[in-house]
Structure 1
């Protein structure tokens, strides 16, 4: 595997010491577990206990902008703020799974939030566990290819707690991602999370907080919107409260699964009928980085057609160059990334209406899944009490 940047001006995911995968390896090492993946190049000065705050959608550039605007003053108390890469694709399903499993997408098989699954013969929305065409639920039990780090910590008698929205309790993802931990749902108010963290640290060695609300504001209104700033101010209250209530000898880390880019252009590929004869099936993957299954011998036509809005590369080359974090743990994973990957340029995204309900969804003003710097770079803030 090389270190080639396949699309000029983009950021390669780093799995060798400078990414979120390596952050989890460092945390495992702190608690005495061995990981098959490298820790961070620069060691974290861990104290006895550790808290990881995962802010969905808070890219490094967004954090710095909010600090400069006075929205996230609590972040000024970090003794250090580093820059890490997300995984590819820079989407919640891929990156959050890495943060809970300590494994890259090449090992988990979670290569997008919307995948063609050969096992089911359809495209599935992995967030909602539904067939994209029928909107019927599907059983994703076969997608559990890896174990959570919490189950391994539990075997080593290291206690962990996950604090996350109570609306997610009992879901397939929560049960799998959080296996081996104590799960604590919260009904959101700014004062709730610091109290829950304080209580959890009385019986746990490692506490993880998942905060999805900022990501929602960025999707709906855009990462530079007033709504995103307002949410950052709420986050500031939570972050400051957690810092204030940390017991001695505790390390607090803040990171994210990905950042965001502003979206102002939408291309509905299902309406481009000249493209359809060249495809095996509708596109899958994320709206910013689409997987395209092409009929044999039609690659050049599809690449030329999509090049109006996207940089198009071979999915095989993505695997060869290590963009997914290594060789596929299961050869079936190769069928999930299509023949080509179309990476939308600038402020564009590529849509497909799998079902009439899709057309009723208001277009997002912020999105992610691609390789731009705003999507790929995420922060690592470190605070020792």
Structure 2
């Protein structure tokens, strides 16, 4: 089991280095040991490519990768090691303890709804939360990192998500740029720097490796082929930025491992477990939060330690918070309510899934959110484009 290294070795610490290097106020989070703020501050421009799903262990398996030539070392993700939590850290510079986003599916006590965070929809009814309550976007608002920097901030990402409720809430005053494909991604980032009249910070998110891994698995030819395309795109961008005094950084939100059908715990197939639950299972397939019916605690624990023995480890929210899983800093006022009554951290490559009305059956091969090395370790790559 690997837990986040919030003392200087996590993606949170990378964001602390970037924010301080670009003039933001100090917030008490240590800088990244691999890349202190003063090194970032030397560059006129900073570009951060966030390649969803590019784990450290996967990257170093390619000895000849161009990305590997510029590898500084490894960072840890946050917990859970998953996109919704990590991208909120990239957007705010905060730990999960501070920003309060705890999973893809999250119970929001203030709305009394289980929400799917990034699309910002009610998980059960599929309603868009902002349509139900126009003021509900407040539950996602955090101080956007982009608004604190002494630099012009830009967000680059696929066009279909560039103006999502989530990105509007966390992007602040940053300019948003939607792209259509990988070539457009490279061209857009390069163009922003090449045409810059003042200092630039560009955060560029690319999700395709992760989506292919979910569908086909990390060992698939589809993932291998796209990794090769990403490797070439990185080198193309590095050359395009030559002479611009840009620090080109690459990291990821998490890595992935492959699961199998016999490793999927379907809640519907365990009626005695389902009977203890007051709400749909929240969190991630590899780290789930369970909300219990009144008086069901003994039955829940008996089932977890009995029929589910070997499938998962069980923790209370206080154990996660006090154990440092979610990081340091002032806790979000709703944090404990977003961690359920108990958290199930799945072992090996096992997952838990609860199919709701309208959901597809669980067909993912590549998964993340847990504490394995492949999920938790991500690379830090740096190329000085002097």
User: TM-score, normalised on structure 2?
Assistant: 0.89
Does the residue aligned with 2:79 lie in a helix, a strand or coil? coil
Contact 1:282 1:352 in 2 (8 A): yes
Moved over 6 A (4+): none
1:284 corresponds to which residue? 282
Question: 1:181 maps to which residue?
Answer: 174
Tell me the CA shift for residue 127 of structure 1: 2.5
* Corresponding residue for residue 310 of structure 1: 312
Paired residues of 1:252 and 1:384 also in contact (CA < 8 A): yes
Among 119, 125, 133, the alignment partner of 1:128 is: 119
C-alpha separation in 2, matches of 1:131 and 1:174 = 17
What is the CA–CA distance in structure 1 between the aligned matches of 2:128 and 2:58, rounded to whole Å? 35
Partner of 2:126, secondary structure, is: coil
Contact preservation (8 Å) 2:281, 2:291: yes
Instruction: For 1:184-333, list aligned pairs within 5 A.
Output: 184-188=177-181, 190-201=182-193, 202-203=195-196, 204-248=199-243, 249-264=245-260, 265-295=263-293, 298-306=296-304, 307-308=308-309, 309-326=311-328, 329-333=331-335
Worse-matched range after superposition: 125-134 or 285-294 = 125-134
CA distance in 1, matches of 2:89, 2:145: 10
Q: CA deviation at 1:74?
A: 1.8
Q: Does 1:141 align with 2:154?
A: no
The alpha-carbon deviation at position 383 of structure 1 amounts to 1.0
Counterpart pick for 1:27 among 1, 18, 22:
18
What displacement does 1:160 show? 1.8
RMSD of aligned residue pairs (Cα, Å): 1.8
Q: Following the alignment from structure 1 to structure 2, what is the Cα–Cα distance between the partners of residues 57 and 18?
A: 18
Distance 1:375 1:98 in 2: 17
Aligned counterparts of 2:343 and 2:110: Cα–Cα separation in 1: 21
| 2-structure distance, mates of 1:99, 1:109 | 13
**Deviation at 1:124?**
1.3
Indicate the SS of the match to 2:331: coil
The answer (yes or no) to whether the contact 1:150–1:179 under 8 Å persists in 2 is yes
Give ranges in structure 1 of 5+ residues lacking alignment: 1-9
Tell me the number of residue pairs that the alignment of Structure 1 and Structure 2 aligns. 365
The aligned counterpart of 1:337 is 339
How far off its partner does 1:247 sit? 3.4
Residues of 1 paired with 2:123 and 2:167: CA distance?
21
Matched, 1:40 2:32: yes
Q: Distance in 1 between matches of 2:361 and 2:119?
A: 15
CA contact (8 A) 1:328 1:334 kept: no
